[in-house]
Amino acid sequence: MPDIAFLALSGLVIISAIFALEARELIYGAVGLAFSLIGVAGLFILLGAEYVAMFQVSVYVGAVVVLILFTIMLVRRESGRILDEEEPGRLGRAGILVAGLVALAVAGAVLLLVPVSLGAPEFPHVSLQELGRLLASSYAIALVILGLLVGATIVGGLTLVKVEREEKSTGATQ
């Protein structure tokens, strides 16, 4: 049963990732990306990491994909035009074919070489408290650095977008 779920989820991830890359409209690409990320969250749940899956859904699907959608709408509403993409030529198709063949070869080699009997040790149920304790003790410095990085990113993004708007408004008033 987990094998079927694993196969279905990995199929969902791969197919929606290809769709996200090949979609003709940007919005459909973003939706495909969202499905791919949800599939990855399902893989996390299969691996017994529910909190990682929660984090994945809330950050990636809840924040990043929504941000991408907002940017697409903002950009497209002002331009009023869909980006027309060129048909992938023969080189692109050959690249996709080669990538698929390489992936098949790697998967076959792994299946042949590795004995499939993955004797999974019983995974103890992890509480959020334990995770948080580990995060606050062993990874405290990394957590602080991550917080600084978040702050720097927010300030940097705001200045990137804000300076331009100020120049535009002063240019309009002058």
Partner 1 sequence: MNAANINFVAFARYANPPMLNGWNIVFFSIAAAAMEATVGLALILVAFRLNGTIDVRKLNRLRG
Q: What is the smallest separation between the CB atom of 109 and partner 1, expressed in angstroms?
A: 17
What is the C-alpha separation between 106 and 42, in angstroms, rounded? 23
Of 95 and 151, which has the nearer Cβ to partner 1?
Answer: 151
Q: What x/- string results for residues 141 through 160 when contact with partner 1 is judged by CB under 8 A?
A: -x---x--xx--xx-xx--x
Q: Which residue has the tokens 């699907």?
A: 61
Binding site for partner 1 (CB under 8 A): 13, 36-37, 40, 43-44, 47-49, 51-52, 55-56, 59-60, 63-64, 67-68, 71, 74-75, 78-79, 83, 118, 120-121, 123-124, 126, 130-131, 134-135, 138-139, 142, 146, 149-150, 153-154, 156-157, 160-161, 164, 168
